[in-house]
């Protein structure tokens, strides 16, 4: 069904013309996603809507206490989001600076989103995938946990600033709590926090601390499930349902739907469009 809906809206996307861009820039911006649309329906659904196929494992009425909220963006939303991360002369995407404390951070007026998670959860890989259409932006990915030690700021055109936070847990910076807590509490232009959770192991004690900070500071945040291609379907379903139940019953500021992300080699993100991040 999801793949059918996507293909139905292909014509609407390219009929939008000036609204999404024109000429060569529009083609280059959407070329990567249009390649995905050529895949067979089953592959297309698995790649673009990876949680959709888990529905077949449900026995109707067997677990009425559990449900799965699945994010279903339109084709236009996905293409528009891709255009935000496509570098051009009029849409500059670049690394800005790094900071070890909030008072060292740049004074920026555009909206800001940050990515936070345990060491080795796949945060740098996800950010690198987001910037894949801006190859001049270097995002270092290390196999060793705790590689990111500072707050790294990236400009995403005129739309927003993306902040890569140090990982918490193993090999976290000694001043991690002061650095991150101060940023989350006092950064006035922070609009959305993306909290990454490893789908193999689920929510850990260290994740609970980050969740508590987001809740205490009344921050709107989203849970992103990483490495969904690693566990078996059964294990992934169990983790997804447990995390979904946690979000439904234990949080107030968390976006109700989970966003799954594959591993580094085939990192296809399922994040919302820029407009839904900032409102």
pLDDT digits (tens, 9 = 90+) for 215-227: 999 999 999 999 9
% of residues, the chain, pLDDT over 70? 63
Residue 138 CA: distances (Å) to CA of 127, 165, 185, 193, 265 = 10, 16, 28, 22, 17
d(CA 10, CA 78): 11
Phi, psi of 78 (to 5 degrees): -65, -45
Model pTM score: 0.76
* Domain locations in the chain as residue ranges: 91-265
Q: What is the pLDDT of residue 36?
A: 66
Q: Measured between alpha carbons, how far apart are the two ends of the chain, in Å?
A: 28
CATH architecture of 91-265: 3-Layer(aba) Sandwich (3.40)
179 has pLDDT over 50: yes
Predicted confidence (pLDDT) per residue in 124-137, tens digit: 889 988 998 888 88
Strands 160-164 and 259-260: unpaired
């Amino acid at each position: 069904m999801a793949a059918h809906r996507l293909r139905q809206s292909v014509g609407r996307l390219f009929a939008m013309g000036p609204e999404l861009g024109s000429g060569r820039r529009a083609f280059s911006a959407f070329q990567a996603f249009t390649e995905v649309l050529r895949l067979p329906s089953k592959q297309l659904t698995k790649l673009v809507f990876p949680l959709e196929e888990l529905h077949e494992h449900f026995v109707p009425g067997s677990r009425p206490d559990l449900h799965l909220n699945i994010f279903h963006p339109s084709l236009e939303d996905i293409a528009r989001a891709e255009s935000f991360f496509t570098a051009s002369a009029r849409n500059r995407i670049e690394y800005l600076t790094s900071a070890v404390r909030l008072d060292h951070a740049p004074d920026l007026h555009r909206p800001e989103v940050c990515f936070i998670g345990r060491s080795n959860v796949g945060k740098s890989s996800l950010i690198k995938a987001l910037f894949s259409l801006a190859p001049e932006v270097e995002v270092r990915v290390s196999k060793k946990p705790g590689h990111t030690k500072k707050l790294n700021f990236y400009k995403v055109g005129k739309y927003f600033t993306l902040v890569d936070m140090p990982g918490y847990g193993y090999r976290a910076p000694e001043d991690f709590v002061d650095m991150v807590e101060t940023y989350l509490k006092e950064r006035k232009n922070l609009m959305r926090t993306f909290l990454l959770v490893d789908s193999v192991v689920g929510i850990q004690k260290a994740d609970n601390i980050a969740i508590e900070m987001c809740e205490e500071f009344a921050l709107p945040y989203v849970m992103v499930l990483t490495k969904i291609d690693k566990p078996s379907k059964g294990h992934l379903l169990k983790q997804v349902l447990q995390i979904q139940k946690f979000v439904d019953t234990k949080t107030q500021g968390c976006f109700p739907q989970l966003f799954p992300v594959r591993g580094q080699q085939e990192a296809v993100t399922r994040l919302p469009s820029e407009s839904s991040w900032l409102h």
